[in-house]
């Protein structure tokens, strides 16, 4: 499998931008929604992080589904897990980041994320929508209508994703003034590809 790696210094730069978005105050919390299907290391990393987390799937899961499931993790700014996560995930489409206010509980954010993960067809068939893949979210959100955006964002303030090059951060927000999208350049140098 070919993956991209970034240095600890590059991860630190990205971390600083995650916590310095226009929505960042002492009242905000940052979550990651990580797609276990992208890399089998994700489940173990989340489990061993000690951070508050929750699987987006309900019920008893077999081992394969447990490892491949999407996980919501409440990130703590000074926890070493954040740098470790960014070093492995950035540029590899492991997931997205979400900003909410600190009154919004993990359970409430999970409910919102889970609601987005499952959609119904016209024939009422339930399907998985992998919006937590940054390649999907950064393409999907700009196509949504105002009423759809309100449903998607719910109580969440902002969705953040890596761009396709891994050198920038996309920030999507929904305010009273409408949908806002901006791109923040992060890494001037290229991200090296390595084979694992």
* pLDDT tens column, 83-100: 999 999 999 999 999 999
pLDDT tops 50 at residue 119: yes
pLDDT at 195: 31
Show the DSSP H helices in the chain as ranges: 8-18, 41-49, 63-68, 80-89, 106-117, 134-140, 146-153
- Per the model's pLDDT, the better-predicted residue between 193 and 46 turns out to be 46
Measured CA distances, 168 to 41, 49, 101, 134 (Å): 24, 26, 24, 12
Total domains in the chain come to 1
Name the token pair of 114: 């889970």
pLDDT tops 70 at residue 79: yes
pLDDT tops 70 at residue 112: yes
pLDDT at 177: 73
Mean pLDDT to the nearest integer, 130-155: 93
pLDDT at 191: 43
Number of other residues whose CB lies within 10 A of the CB of residue 97: 24
pLDDT tops 60 at residue 70: yes
Closest to 32 in 3D by CA, of 52, 16, 3, 62: 52
pLDDT > 70: percent of the chain: 90
Mean pLDDT to the nearest integer, 174-195: 69
pLDDT tops 90 at residue 189: no
pLDDT at 2: 54
Mean pLDDT of the chain: 89
pLDDT at 28: 85
pLDDT tops 50 at residue 60: yes
Q: Which domain holds residue 168?
A: 2-195
pLDDT band at 34 (very low <50, low <70, confident <90, very high): very high
């Amino acid at each position: 499998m070919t993956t991209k790696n970034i240095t600890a210094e590059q991860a630190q730069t990205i971390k600083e931008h995650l916590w310095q978005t226009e929505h960042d105050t002492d009242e905000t919390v940052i979550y990651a929604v990580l797609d276990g299907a992208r890399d089998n290391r994700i489940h173990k990393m989340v489990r061993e992080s000690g951070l508050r987390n929750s699987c987006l799937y309900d019920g008893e899961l077999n081992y394969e589904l447990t490892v491949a499931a999407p996980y919501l993790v409440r990130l703590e700014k000074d926890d070493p897990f954040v740098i470790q996560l960014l070093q492995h995930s950035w540029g590899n489409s492991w997931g997205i980041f979400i900003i909410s206010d600190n009154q919004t509980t993990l359970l409430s954010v999970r409910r919102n994320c889970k609601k987005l993960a499952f959609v119904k067809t016209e024939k009422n068939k339930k399907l998985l929508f992998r919006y937590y893949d940054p390649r999907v979210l950064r393409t999907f959100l700009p196509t949504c209508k105002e009423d759809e955006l309100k449903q998607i964002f719910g109580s969440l303030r902002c969705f953040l994703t890596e761009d396709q090059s891994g050198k920038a951060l996309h920030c999507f927000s929904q305010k009273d003034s409408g949908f806002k999208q901006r791109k923040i350049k992060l890494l001037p140098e290229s991200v090296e590809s390595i084979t694992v």
